[in-house]
Amino acid sequence: MASPSEVEVFNHALSGIGVDENSLVSILVKSHDEHKKSIRKGCSQLFFEDERQFERWNQTAIKSLKAEFKRFKDVVLLSLMHPWERDARLLNKALKKGPQQYNIIVEIACTRSSDQLLGARKAYHSLFDQSIEEHLASHVKGSERKLLVALVSAYRYEGSKVKEDTAKSEAKALLNAIKDGDKKKVMENDEVVRILTTRSKPHLKEVYQQYKKISGKTIIEDLEVVLLLKETVECLCTPQAYFTRVFDAALRDNANEDAKKALTRLVATQEDEEIKEVAAKFQDKIEERVKGAYKDVLVGVLAKEET
């Protein structure tokens, strides 16, 4: 029979994000039938007795557990793949999943350099025999199409030069489009799409600051009901706030699968020092919530120095 401490260790190994493989192995290698039976009885979230006193697993819980075992594989593959192939495959999968995954397209288009995004577009040609722009334009039917096609097509200037007068003028244009029109249609506004998809990131950060001076609120606050556009602005203008939001959502006790996948994707694909600064703020939560080999990879990737 398993001791209460073993059952506790077993339950702890299966809680949180990822699994503690070493703890599971240390218990299972010495298990026999009665030992395993007592472990099952102690893991009521995974196993239960039905109305016929037949012992069976909880299908929903087992499905979630399979995802936790798979998490290590996912972070390893995303970390090892060529960045162009990785991003092309992420873009393709998000497009196939539909509107609930369009935020991933925004994340990739807005957090990559111009050359990285161009590389992903080239990889898309080789992998899927069509361009990402073509695939987007033919499959996205809603108001998101214009913005998404323009974002993935962008090749932004990456120098530091910013014209304050132009930034102020464009901040006013954004404010007028957001305040005067139907907020749900602002994503199709030509001037909004032009500014967000053609301007450099330093320029857009200045636009963001000018907007706040003029409006008294940030663009993100004014776009609360236009989620995809809000996320676009967040990724382009305040990436650290975006990273913080992803970490916070993923490390909550009730985090859903999409939030956990976002953490894997972000850590495996982001190279900016800002993500390490954000991760440092969540160090205690990572220690508490993340388990096993998955944790080792996350912590190792976040800690590594560029060579």
Distance CA 11, CA 14 (A): 5
Residue 16 marked as a ligand binder = yes
> For the residues of 160-199, what is the DSSP string, one character each?
S---HHHHHHHHHHHHHHHHHS-GGGGGG-HHHHHHHHHS
Residue 68 marked as a ligand binder = yes
Among 265, 199, 266, 194, which Cα is nearest to 237's? 199
What ranges in the chain are assigned the alpha helix state H? Answer: 4-13, 21-28, 33-42, 59-80, 83-97, 102-111, 114-128, 132-139, 144-153, 164-180, 190-198, 201-215, 219-222, 227-237, 239-250, 257-269, 273-281, 283-289, 292-303
> For the residues of 43-78, what is the DSSP string, one character each?
-TTTEEE-TT--EEE-HHHHHHHHHHHHHHHHHHHH
269, with CB counted inside 10 A (0-12, 13-18, 19+), is buried
CB 154 within 8 A of CB 201: no
Q: List residues bridging with 17 in a β-sheet.
A: 290
Residue 216 marked as a ligand binder = no
CB 183 within 8 A of CB 175: no
The number of C-alpha atoms within 13 Å of 126 and in the hemisphere containing its C-beta is 12
User: Which sign, positive or negative, has the C-alpha torsion 296, 116, 98, 192?
Assistant: positive
Annotated binding site: 16, 18, 68
Query: Which residues are part of a known binding site for Ca(2+)?
Result: 16, 18, 68
